[in-house]
Amino acid sequence: MKRILSLLLAALLLFPLVSCGGAPAPAPETAPGTSPETVPETAPSAPSSPGTGAPETAALPLPEPPVTAPPATEPPATEPPVTAPPETEPPVTAPPETEPPVTEPPVTQPPVTQPPVTQPPVTEAPAPVVLPPDGNLLFDNPSAGIYNYCPTVIEEPDGTRYIYYCTNKKSYNVTDYIGCRRGAPNADGTYTYGEETLVLSPTAGNWDARHTCDPSVIRGVFRYGGETYSYLMAYLGCTSSDNQENKVGLAVARTPTGPFLPVGDKPIVDFTKDPNVTSFQWGVGQPALVSQDEAGKVWLFYTKGDKNGTRTIVRTCDFSDLGAPVFGTEMRVSVKGLKNLNGGTDILNNADFAYAGGTVFYSASDCHPNPSDTPDYIAGSFRVTRLERFTSGGVAFTDANASWTDLATVGPQETGFARNHNVCLVRDEYGRLPDRDYLTVCYTVSVTGTKSLWSYRIYDCNVALR
């Protein structure tokens, strides 16, 4: 796995991308009656606030006139004395002296206040994160010569999932279509996926005539051609079989199972090879969409590979009116904190993104360098990372203010497969994490050898977030 540094640096400038682009692969076996087509270098993934009254006056007694006796002429007759009974004053009975009861003021003891008994707070251990089973093959193909890779998954509020991925229509014929399957949740946390529906196909004579691949789907409100659509897909398209000059387009649908209608006859992110450059010119692709407002404003991510090297771009866009879309400036997503398998700084491509609220994003992407044995154009391991800081306008996924933290690296030792590549995060219909305790990654596996393309299948795994 280790390489001399100078060789690695040179390789990054010409880094083949996994998508409908990569290094040309040997021609596959061709089923009888079909013409062989070139195998793309990398399966196209290269993806809460008292009155007072008057005083009383005492009455005075009136005076009596004086009594005068007449002169005496005859001796007075002697009358027996009249003895008046002595005036007896009724005895004055003083009311018994009654002492007012002596009322002692109540003796009030100050209340005795016992200090409150404070029990130490009971801290319950957080409930353990219960992860659903992983390592599951999500679905298989009924016939040989069919590949499935580069998935994107949305989960509706009722738990239903829809998975979109690259596949071919005819056995052993390498032409990329976009398939879709509906997943019903099971009691144990796994999903059962139904029959495949091809929801987008190459358009003859157009910019996406050779391949349509690397889908990313979100819900919103998007007007196009006088109609309103609820689902938007970004995808890679191209006209060549040499895995160069890839471009990004849009398609819309009313339901998650489509069919999806391409928007216009031109890509929304164009790329033309520079005739003065002789090096490999992959172009743009592996898009990812994340809604900003559950309507028409989105973050659009995509890989760009040209003479300046390989990197991931983010742009703030308004796709409310797809007849007149508004594009923000291209900004390079930070690689600060990303480590390659040798401990050095890695490049970032073929990545999927999910918004976790606030200033936190999660991502899943391929690890480098790729293995040196065949096929050497797809990754052996992938990583899951968290971006701690970014500016809400989308400008900020830049090196100065954004840093990634590695949460998990998954490779052959964990999965049992030699190649683990072209990954996505299970997201809700707007590109956010549906669960704060863990995230689910869907990834492509394959064996080694010149016929590895026909072994491309999609599995899943879970990563605890606390």
Q: Which carries the bigger pLDDT value, residue 104 or residue 183?
A: 183
Q: Is the pLDDT of residue 325 over 70?
A: yes
Would the pTM count as exceeding 0.85? no
Please report whether residue 92 resides in a domain.
Answer: no
Chain mean pLDDT for the chain: 81
CA nearest to 428, candidates 356, 323, 367: 356
Cis ω before 275 (30° cut-off from 0): no
Segment 252-256 long-range contacts (CB within 8 Å, at least 24 positions apart): 252/222, 252/224, 252/322, 253/199, 253/229, 254/229, 254/230, 255/230, 255/231, 256/154, 256/156, 256/162, 256/180, 256/182, 256/217, 256/231
Residue type, 457: R
Average pLDDT over residues 316-345: 94
Q: Which carries the bigger pLDDT value, residue 357 or residue 239?
A: 239
Phi–psi pair at 180, nearest 5 degrees: -140, 140
Average pLDDT over residues 193-221: 97
Q: Is the pLDDT of residue 402 over 70?
A: yes
Q: What is the pLDDT of residue 3?
A: 38
Average pLDDT over residues 218-236: 98
> Which are the contacts of 390, defined by CB distance < 8 A and separation ≥ 6?
359, 361, 396, 397, 401, 402
Average pLDDT over residues 224-228: 97
Q: Tokens at residue 208, please?
A: 């996406």
Please report whether residue 35 resides in a domain.
Answer: no
Residue 144 — pLDDT band, cuts 50, 70, 90?
Answer: very high
Q: What is the pLDDT of residue 31?
A: 37
For residues 18 and 421, is the Cβ–Cβ distance under 8 A? yes
Please report whether residue 112 resides in a domain.
Answer: no
Q: How far apart are CA 314 and CA 306, in angstroms?
A: 16
Total count of domains within the chain: 1
DSSP state of 27: P
Q: Is the pLDDT of residue 421 over 80?
A: yes
Q: Tokens at residue 391, please?
A: 């500016």
Q: How far apart are CA 175 and CA 155, in angstroms?
A: 28
Please report whether residue 310 resides in a domain.
Answer: yes
Please report whether residue 47 resides in a domain.
Answer: no
Please report whether residue 207 resides in a domain.
Answer: yes
Please report whether residue 438 resides in a domain.
Answer: yes
Share of the chain above pLDDT 70, in %: 71
341-386: per-residue pLDDT in tens? Answer: 999 999 999 999 999 988 889 999 999 999 999 999 999 999 999 9
Full domain range(s) for residue 230: 148-464
Which three-class secondary structure state does DSSP give residue 118? Answer: coil
Q: What is the pLDDT of residue 142?
A: 86
CATH code, domain carrying 398: 2.115.10.20
Please report whether residue 130 resides in a domain.
Answer: no
CA angle, residues 351, 357, 360, in degrees to nearest 5: 50
Q: Where are the alpha helices (DSSP H) in 72-116?
A: none
Q: How far apart are CA 197 and CA 179, in angstroms?
A: 6
